[in-house]
Structure 1
Amino acid sequence: MEATPIHLLPLFAVLFALFRLCKLLLRRRDQCCFMLDYECYKATEDRKLDTELCANIILRNKNLGLEEYKFLLQTIVSSGIGEETYAPTNVIMGREERPLLSDALQEMDDILFDTLDKLFARTGINPADIDILVVNVSLLSTVPSLTSRIANRYRLKSDVKSFNLSGMGCSASVVAIDLVQHLFKSHKKAFAVVVSTESMGPNWYCGKERSMMLSNCLFRSGGCAMLLTNDRGMRHRAILKLKCMVRTHMGSDQEAYECCMQVEDELGYRGFRLTKGLKKAAAKALTKNLMVLLPKVLPFWDLIRCWYRGIASSAGLNLNKGIQHFCIHPGGRAVIEGVGKSLGLSEHDIEPARMALHRFGNTSAGGLWYVLGYMEAKKRLKKGDKILMISLGAGFKCNNCVWEVMRDLKDPNVWEDCIDSYPPKKQLNPFTEKYGWINDESVSFVRHYF
């Protein structure tokens, strides 16, 4: 056989490279992830935590002394949370110290089934068509699993791929979406449902350790259900398209690993401990994550400028060149302000997270979607806009992703009945009016976190 002329070898090399590139592009075309819709949970009016009820719940804890009472009330004053958040039924009814399994299951059923009923009704998708189901609840693991409760309620098909995630913390919904995105690679034209919430009722802390009492002041009932697909034929119905995702895990760092942890105190009360290492762990995880994420979303010349000035310097960052909206996990006032300051964001940028915290509290993994709902209710989200979701969670993890808005979003959502009153004109926290007195020891501790 006659040998290939030497001068044709470069041509063959170019053709081979183009062939490989085409294969890669075609493969990536099949790896799309569209969000068709989402539904956030809003509890009934009889579960609202107004000023008076919050104080009563605190005063019910007979393990606390005067200083602990003052600390808790001052923490609420400084938290950035308003009077319209929701608590689990067993807490409202005064059964927080001895919750029953039935309380936990009823709390989950309320959130899971309410959001899924509305999601299926809004999208017109038949539950029997769902191929993938992911539920994430960090602090509750039941037998049968929560995914089985959903499969039983909606008569899902026998070959549905179900996954029950626990212990993943406040960033679990992004982890769940990442799982769905990977499953889409081997399941063509599939529908996936993700439900993100938290079990608050059985995990209400009844002890007196301050680092564990903080969770009672921040965490509230809430959750979200999302419907996703990789069917390009559904592109015209999608509201968002996933552009990229980066997950960062700091579990090998002992201080970061221990900064958010479920433990028992010396009296045997179980709760969620937040240590002084939380801020440091969050800053480190966010920095590592953005070093990978930013090159995927910022224009080339902005990346060059960041590299020249130093990517860790906020002066070198101008995220608005590649991103129009910032969906920050509403974990607490300090979290929102810290992320905003480190990224050089404006008050307009962090307003959705502030307002989600004020109206719904920290709803754990569901929190991001209340922030997104605020942006939509304010009619900020326009076709082609990019949204950066920033989530932080126990472990310690930072999971961030970027979405592209597929059409102007203005559908009614969980904010519909109150969006015109936000941001509130009256900036004074209602708790301040009744419990705004100062205690030096309390303020010193509170300021470290809030």
Structure 2
Amino acid sequence: MTPDLLPGEDCPTQRADGANWDGQTDGAGRADEGVHPLVIHSSQILAAALLVTAAVNHFPKITVADLAEIWRSLQIDVAYAFALTAVAVLLLGYYALRHPRPVYLVDFATWQLRDDKDDGSLSATSDFFRSTITDCGNFCDESVDFQMKLFERNQISERCYFPPGIRAYRKGERDFDFSMAAARKEFETVVFTTVDELLAKTGVKPRDIDILVVNCSLFNPTPSLAAIVINHYQMKDSVQSYSLGGMGCSAGLISIHLAKDLLQVYPRKRALVISTENITQNFYQGNEKSMLISNTLFRMGGAAVLLSGRHADRRVAKYQLLHTVRTHKGADPDAYRCVFQEEDKAGHVGVRLSKDVMECAGAAMKTNISVLAPLILPVSEQVRFLANYVARKWLRMKGVKGYVPDFTTAVQHFCIHTGGRAVLDALQANLSLSDYYLEPSRYSLWRWGNVSSASVWYELDWLEKSGRIRRGDKVWQIGFGSGFKCNSAVWRACRAMP
């Protein structure tokens, strides 16, 4: 190595004794050139000879009997060795089962019309809604008044959207278009736009998708919705595809749960999850109040989510999936029928919402939380809850109110399904959350309406754009749906957003 140089000095090529820094003399070749190698290395050869002599004279004599004894001492009973191996395999298997392969959310996209493409042709304005339900002749005056009251009470923005089949109505010119073609057009309008955006953001090609899960509750044609996506994007023949129907507004998180399980079976694969709802063929045309509610609440929307089990995608992923919990109360007759699609007395098909829906939602959520809470709550909150439970149920102490765990100690953000203002109010009270934590849900309900299973993704999109997501933050998505079901997913942010 060369010596340190002073400022302005050039690197010297010779040492003070005339030799170069690489051990060569100035133009004279090697200093020991012409000398026999044995002479040059005589000191090393002498040292090696002395070491060999010492080893021969001083190392103890080892006989064949000594070697046999050493071998016998190293032998282990075969059964004992097999038992140790079996225990090791069981421990490794237990560890693998307790620690499933990580699942990452690479990115997601929600269907939103850009300002430059929003010409107002799909806008769900109050003027259009009032004139349509008044002029179409399908609703009596009482039903018109009822729907308008709900429309205004919901406080949903007029920037939300109705599908083309409903917006096609013109008094005396065109009727509603509730055809299969119109329903397919609604699906393709939402899904193709959303998936295109997601693929552009991630740089993933359609043929790189290994698993496809599509959920839509009320529109399930043949070929399936998954087949429509596969055909449009020319996905590979080996793609594992699933279409989920009739599972209500919580189907988006059911799809996430299904994709997570599939990524455990098919490691190092990518899964595309698409969540949407179809309004075209489900705009109720009768006069029963319990079936008119959906006309005033639901709007167009959808989301596409890219999940990955590839370790390489961890570097670019936004979130890691920590927990999914599913609850199904279908064994309870009231819960089973509280959201029910059927014909009314006049033969019009619609979705009936019973008065028990809030009670059923509360019961389903209570069961869901009882499973999720031990997975996410800190020990301090679990101890408080247990002490309160013992005081009330075992010791039967009077005046002791039920303790609601503080979930904000475990989760920083909440994405609660936008089932309506009453649903959000009830959940806020039950979870003892401040208005701050309900902002994503209330904004999404106002801006997009009830977009069914995709609602939790619009809320997460709002959280990202608001700059609230920090690395390590946990997000709890809660969905409710017919059946009656309550489903949860908890994510951990891999980086700050945006």
- Residue of structure 2 equivalent to 1:196: 275
Map Cα deviations across residues 394-419 of structure 1 (whole Å, 9 max, x no partner).
Answer: 01100111111111011xxxxxxxxx
Instruction: State the secondary structure of the residue aligned to 2:218.
Output: coil
From the superposition, tell whether residues 135 and 314 of structure 1 become closer, same or farther in structure 2 (CA, over 3 Å): farther
Instruction: State the secondary structure of the residue aligned to 1:388.
Output: strand
Cα distance in 1 for partners of 2:427, 2:402 equals 11
Q: Which has the larger radius of gyration?
A: 2
Pick from 481, 490, 493 the counterpart of residue 393 of structure 1.
481
Query: Cα offset for 1:28?
Result: 4.9
Query: Cα offset for 1:16?
Result: 8.2
Cα distance in 2 for partners of 1:178, 1:26 equals 19
Cα distance in 1 for partners of 2:259, 2:128 equals 40
Pick from 14, 33, 38 the counterpart of residue 108 of structure 2.
38
Cα distance in 2 for partners of 1:53, 1:377 equals 31
Cα distance in 1 for partners of 2:86, 2:379 equals 27
- Residue of structure 1 equivalent to 2:124: 49
Is 2:240 the partner of 1:161? yes
From the superposition, tell whether residues 405 and 71 of structure 1 become closer, same or farther in structure 2 (CA, over 3 Å): same
Pick from 160, 174, 194 the counterpart of residue 115 of structure 1.
194
Is 2:299 the partner of 1:220? yes
Map Cα deviations across residues 12-66 of structure 1 (whole Å, 9 max, x no partner).
Answer: 9999878644443345555211110101002444211122112112213423333
Query: Cα offset for 1:150?
Result: 1.0
Map Cα deviations across residues 81-120 of structure 1 (whole Å, 9 max, x no partner).
Answer: 1211100111111167551111011111111111111111
From the superposition, tell whether residues 143 and 343 of structure 1 become closer, same or farther in structure 2 (CA, over 3 Å): same
Cα distance in 2 for partners of 1:348, 1:152 equals 43
Stretch deviating more after TM superposition (60-69 or 394-403): 60-69
Question: Quick one: which amino acid aligns to residue 191 of structure 1?
Answer: R
Instruction: State the secondary structure of the residue aligned to 1:46.
Output: coil
Judge conservation of contact 2:319–2:492 (CA < 8 Å) in 1.
yes
Matches within 5 A, 1:317-328: 317-328=405-416
Cα distance in 2 for partners of 1:230, 1:362 equals 31
Cα distance in 2 for partners of 1:145, 1:22 equals 41
Cα distance in 2 for partners of 1:58, 1:13 equals 76
- Residue of structure 2 equivalent to 1:347: 435
- Residue of structure 2 equivalent to 1:93: 168
Instruction: State the secondary structure of the residue aligned to 1:47.
Output: coil
Matches within 5 A, 1:215-364: 215-310=294-389, 315-364=403-452
- Residue of structure 2 equivalent to 1:144: 223
Instruction: State the secondary structure of the residue aligned to 2:121.
Output: helix
Stretch deviating more after TM superposition (56-65 or 290-299): 56-65
Judge conservation of contact 2:168–2:177 (CA < 8 Å) in 1.
no
- Residue of structure 1 equivalent to 2:141: 66
From the superposition, tell whether residues 300 and 184 of structure 1 become closer, same or farther in structure 2 (CA, over 3 Å): same
Name the % identity. 35
- TM-score for the superposition, normalised by structure 1: 0.85
Judge conservation of contact 2:100–2:264 (CA < 8 Å) in 1.
yes
Cα distance in 2 for partners of 1:314, 1:190 equals 45
Cα distance in 2 for partners of 1:80, 1:303 equals 38
Higher RCO (C-alpha under 8 Å, 6+ residues apart): 1
CA RMSD in angstroms comes to 2.4
Judge conservation of contact 1:204–1:271 (CA < 8 Å) in 2.
yes
Matches within 5 A, 1:372-383: 372-383=460-471
Instruction: State the secondary structure of the residue aligned to 1:85.
Output: coil
What residue ranges of structure 2 are gaps of 5+ in the alignment?
Answer: 1-72, 74-79, 393-400
- TM-score for the superposition, normalised by structure 2: 0.77
Query: Cα offset for 1:80?
Result: 2.9
